[in-house]
Structures are given as structure tokens and as C-alpha cells.
Copies of this chain bind each other. A is one copy, B any other.
């Protein structure tokens, strides 16, 4: 089956595997699909299938070499190069995201922060001075890949439009609204409230099915 297109659902699981490989303490050089399965909560055959999409990577009877596997997943996900990101929106959620520490391990560097509140502009958030959103255009030619937006829903679209003009190719959207972008730009939306809203469906009401 060598060199197949990788299904989106497999791509969704790759960061999960990578996270486990990065953070688990490994006394061994190799890990089997079964052992990895226990750590990530995915079936072993699903893991093997996922890995099989990028060629024969494991050793029969042994498992997968951990370093090789990390390297391979990073390459597939294009995390083998540094990605520069900017944050727009220095409110509670934006601040939490910026200070989150945990992006760097995947090769992301948040190099600038923007807000439209005059009281915040010039103040520091972590090591970064907050700039006015009106100076977003200065980002052109600074090789920024990724925009992270954490602004109110009603200004999300205009914020994204400005970001797209600076040349970002991907946007992580924490704003609670649908935004439209040119086809060449990829948006991933995380709406915490919406995810929470999906939870009760799966909870038994009193006793009975969900």
C-alpha cells in the first residue's frame, strides 16, 4: 500500500502520537503499536494502519524506533521547519494562549501580539510588546506563517482579512464565528463553548442511553 494519500482522520491523530512520543519517558529505543495504543487511547491496528500510509517504518517482532518515528511524523506534519506565528487579541484567552508554553515543542514561535485596546498597546505580554492592530500590515515580508486570533466574534472577519493580506497561510481561530478565507489559506476553529455544548449529548440523562 506504499505511498497512499494520508486520510484526514489519520492526520488528525498524528499530533496525538507525536505528543505521546515527546512526553513519555522512554527506557526503550522502540515502541510497539500495542504499547503506544495504551498511552494514546487508540487501537493498535488503527495505529499500524496510520503509520503504514507513510511506508514501512517499523521492524516486525520489535516495533517502531522512537526517534525515527518522531522525525517522520514531524516531517509529514511539516513541523520540521520553524513556524512564525502572531497573535491578534490580547484578552484573557489570547493571553492564556500566548503564555501557554507548549507550542515551542512543535516548532512554533509567537513573534508578535496585536490588540485594538489603546490601554493595552505598549504594555508587555510575556516578553512581547502589544502593538496596535492598525500596524498589522508591517508584518509583510517578515515570514509569518500562522495567525492566531482571539478577538470578539463581530470583528473576527475583518481581523482575518487583515491577517490574510500579510500573507499568513494558516489561521487558528478562537473567535466564535465562521470566517471565510481564500482557498489557499487554511483555518482551524476552536470554539470552547461549542465543544462544551456537545458534551451533554453523550452523558446519560438520569439512567438510560446517551
Determine how many copies of this chain the complex contains. 2
User: Provided the pairs A193-B106, A203-B145 are in contact, do residues A198 and B77 lie with their beta carbons within 8 angstroms?
Assistant: yes
User: Provided the pairs A39-B178, A178-B39, A205-B78 are in contact, do residues A197 and B15 lie with their beta carbons within 8 angstroms?
Assistant: yes
Q: What is the interface residue range for chain A against chain B?
A: 35 or more
* B105, B172, B191: the one within 8 Å of A19 (CB): B191
Interface residue A97 (Cβ < 8 Å from any Cβ of B):
yes
Contact A199 B186 (CB under 8 A): yes
* B18, B95, B200: the one within 8 Å of A77 (CB): B200
* B12, B15, B178: the one within 8 Å of A40 (CB): B178
Contact A193 B102 (CB under 8 A): yes
Interface residue A61 (Cβ < 8 Å from any Cβ of B):
no
Contact A201 B96 (CB under 8 A): no
Chain B residues in 8 Å Cβ range of A203: 78, 145-146, 169-170, 186
User: Provided the pairs A78-B201, A178-B39, A203-B145 are in contact, do residues A103 and B170 lie with their beta carbons within 8 angstroms?
Assistant: no
Residues of A within 8 A of B (CB): 11-12, 14-16, 18-20, 23, 39-41, 76-79, 83, 85, 92-93, 95-97, 99-100, 102-103, 105-106, 108, 145-146, 148, 153, 169-170, 172, 176-178, 180, 184, 186, 188, 190-205, 210
9 closest residue pairs by CB, A with B: A78-B200, A186-B202, A96-B96, A169-B203, A15-B197, A15-B194, A92-B96, A170-B199, A106-B197
Additional A-B contacts beyond A19-B191, A78-B201, A190-B190 (12; CB < 8 A): A15-B197, A16-B178, A20-B178, A23-B153, A23-B177, A92-B99, A92-B100, A102-B192, A145-B203, A172-B192, A184-B204, A190-B192
